[in-house]
Amino acid sequence: MTFLLPAADGVADEVARRLPRATIARYEDGGTDLGEVDFYCLPYMGNGASTAMIAKMPRLRVLQSLSSGVDNILGSVPEQVTLCNGSGLHHEESTAELAVSLILASLRQLPLFALDQKRHRWHHVRTDSLDAKKVLLVGHGGMGKAIEERLLPFGARISRASRTARDGVAPLSELRRLAAEADILVVCIALTPDTYGLIGEEVLGALPDGALVVNVARGPIVDAAALVSHLTTGRLRAALDVTDVEPLPADRPEWTLPGVLITPHIGGDTFAFARRAPGFVADQAERHTNGQPLANIVKPAGQRA
């Protein structure tokens, strides 16, 4: 049985330690006979090349992602392959921390003060607070709940919308109405055909002047052109950990528009994740070797993506 695994964070080494008789190939080394691969763990934050390799693995039976979201690879998973995600590796909690950090950094104008520090300039400015701010969470799964839990101690007032309406959580059809009352809109919903472009002109235009748009989910959920239009006039502000093209091209206006804070898709990539990943992949490898049920199955074998 051949396992193709990332060497990063010690994933391959931990599987080799736990399964000394298995054939372990390290993704970073290259040169692996892909026709022999039975279990493939994608490199974290991989690119199109790592996904394209799936089609060259006729014996592949398990595809393991280290990310919680698998929207970018789902269409590349063959019918006979079981796809598992990395839910439970602290992605949701770490991304929630970043969402709150981006909100606080924007409200307290930390980028301005960082620039003043670089210039050795002491310039006092009164800034805003999260206290009593109306925050609309677009998405209320694990990530949305984690963000809410971290916002409440600051005195934020939370409203929620999701694909599945329930008590206290409105349907997505209510987004425009809820946006009209929001000081901060946080995108924390999964990317699906139904959520592609969900935050478009109708929702963005409904937001009050000065509202902050935070995206820690997936870039294409927000209509970039519509957002840029509102950012250019200064009517809205934004804090973006994800964009509709990644890396964000150097000539995109978001880089230099006022009131915009950008981080390079770092939401779930923390040392907390790195500590958990090797043991989790080794557990999955052992389960597969022993014929035991896998954890975090997103698409079972025999089911079309």
| Confidence at residue 296, expressed as pLDDT on a 0 to 100 scale | 97
Exposed, middle or buried, 103 (CB in 10 Å: 0-12/13-18/19+)? buried
Tokens in use for 285?
């490898």
Alpha helices in 188-253 (DSSP H): 201-206, 224-232
Q: What is the chain's pLDDT, residue by residue, as a tens digit (305 residues)?
A: 999 999 999 999 999 999 999 999 999 998 899 999 999 999 998 888 999 999 999 999 999 999 998 988 999 999 999 999 999 999 999 999 999 999 999 999 999 999 999 999 999 999 999 999 999 999 999 999 999 999 999 999 999 999 999 999 999 999 999 999 999 999 999 999 999 999 999 999 999 999 999 999 999 999 999 999 999 999 999 999 999 999 999 999 999 999 999 999 999 999 999 999 999 999 999 999 999 999 999 999 988 87
Is 162 in contact with 141 (CB distance < 8 Å)?
Answer: yes
Which token pair is 184? 């901060």
What's residue 227's pLDDT?
Answer: 98
